[in-house]
Structure 1
Amino acid sequence: MSVLRVLGRPMLASMFLAGGLDSVRRPQDVAPAAEPVVQPVTERVDALPDRTEQAVRLSGAVQVAAGLMLATGRMPRPAALAIAATLVPTTLAGHRFWEEDDPEARSGQRIHFLKNLSMLGGLLIAADDTGAAPSLLWRGRHTARDVRRDARLVRRSLRAGAVPATVAARVRAKLPG
């Protein structure tokens, strides 16, 4: 495994481990800010808890579990996707810079929004990173290509063998028996 992956994954996961632990321990601190985003989502998705504090705690637990998986390199691609799924509502709930009237507060919230957007980009890159091993899609395409190539070689071999066999049969037919 590359040194960059060994160092980069825990660095990327650190923010989500810390933030997730805070959300699990003290969901009431962020529940009021999360309310406008959590309620419409929980109304549409029956599997999510109805109370905002429970949804915040669940999101934090996902961030902690997936953050640990990403940091340790255990199933890092699904872990990165799970964190990314929690980061979108977290960003939309916590950094609504477009609603701020104070220019300083707006600027601060915009910086945090863009920071989260860049972390989302890093998570998407991590989710796509196969760790130098070919992806299943790549393996499937190349296996299909290899099968087609082998089939062409078999056809050519059969044709190449068929021509001398035909000539030999003609010659045998002309020879006195």
Structure 2
Amino acid sequence: MEAIWVIGRILFSALFIMSGFGHFRNYKDMVQYAQMMKAPSPNVTVPLTGLMIILGGISVLFNFYLTIGAILLFLFLVPTAFIMHKFWAVQDPGLAANQMAHFMKNLALAGASLILIYLDSLR
């Protein structure tokens, strides 16, 4: 069962670590997109959220302060779903479906973050 725990953490955290580095690597494009979506203070929130998901992902990956890492991911995922993936405001059906998929992915990952917090509390 330990192998499942380790593999699960690797698979879960990879998305956040890679995406977090993308916040810095593609900073200008990310800020422009955040501005278009009317996110608050994109010049600050893009690097801040990038740092949050890198730290959260690394925390989960190495099972080091797992609850804090999962909280960071949860605090990124829920607002991001509602701010950046407003599928209900998109007129084009294809684009709306894409945004809905991202919205639901974020909520599912937020749920997984809560499960990690719960599991960590049992240890």
TM-score (norm 1): 0.62
Change (3 A) 1:27 1:92: farther
Do residues 118 (structure 1) and 108 (structure 2) align? Answer: yes
Aligned length: 121
**1:37 — aligned with what?**
39
Q: In the TM superposition, what is the alpha-carbon distance from 1:131 to its structure 2 partner?
A: 7.0
Separation in 1, partners of 2:52, 2:120: 22
Separation in 2, partners of 1:120, 1:88: 7
Q: Structure 2 regions of 5+ residues with no counterpart?
A: none
**1:109 — aligned with what?**
99
Q: Is the partner of 1:54 in helix, strand or coil?
A: helix
Partner of residue 68 from structure 1, selected from 44, 47, 58: 58
Do residues 16 (structure 1) and 49 (structure 2) align? Answer: no
Letter in 2 for 1:70: V
**1:90 — aligned with what?**
80
**2:28 — aligned with what?**
28
TM-score (norm 2): 0.87
Q: In the TM superposition, what is the alpha-carbon distance from 1:132 to its structure 2 partner?
A: 4.8
Separation in 2, partners of 1:73, 1:52: 30
**1:151 — aligned with what?**
none
Q: Structure 1 regions of 5+ residues with no counterpart?
A: 39-50, 134-177
Separation in 1, partners of 2:74, 2:103: 14
Letter in 1 for 2:21: L
Q: Is the partner of 1:74 in helix, strand or coil?
A: coil
Aligned-residue sequence identity (percent) comes to 26
Letter in 1 for 2:22: D
Alignment root-mean-square deviation, CA:
1.8
Q: In the TM superposition, what is the alpha-carbon distance from 1:64 to its structure 2 partner?
A: 0.7
**1:56 — aligned with what?**
46
